[in-house]
Amino acid sequence: MAKKKVNKKVKKTGICLVRKVLDNYVDIVGDEEMLVADGFDEAIIGVTYGYGDQVVVYDWDACIEILRKDMSHEDALEHMGYNVTGAYVGERTPQFVRFIDSIQDEYGTGK
């Protein structure tokens, strides 16, 4: 099966069109021009399907761990909130998911 070409144009926002990380899945995601958050390839957990454009979905906690390689936990939280999840670049802006288990563990509301 031949691999399809994917647009790899980088934008200044740190968000860029689908690139190498999704090239292996181009048959699944189709020819959509989805945006990805720069530097968080390892945190991609999927792609949304439903009404509107498909968007790439990330594990929020995994993104924090990636940021913690270069900064404190508090700085990672601030950076994530302001520079990553706060960067709206249109309808194809990636989404970030926090799993209920991680929220329960953080706040001690789990079983």
Nearest to 106 by CA among 83, 77, 68: 77
Domain boundaries, the chain: 15-107
The whole model's pTM is what?
0.69
pLDDT (tens place) for every residue of the chain, 111 residues total: 333 333 333 333 344 444 455 665 555 555 567 788 888 988 988 888 888 888 889 999 999 999 999 999 999 999 999 999 988 888 888 999 998 877 766 767 655
Distance CA 16, CA 66 (A): 18
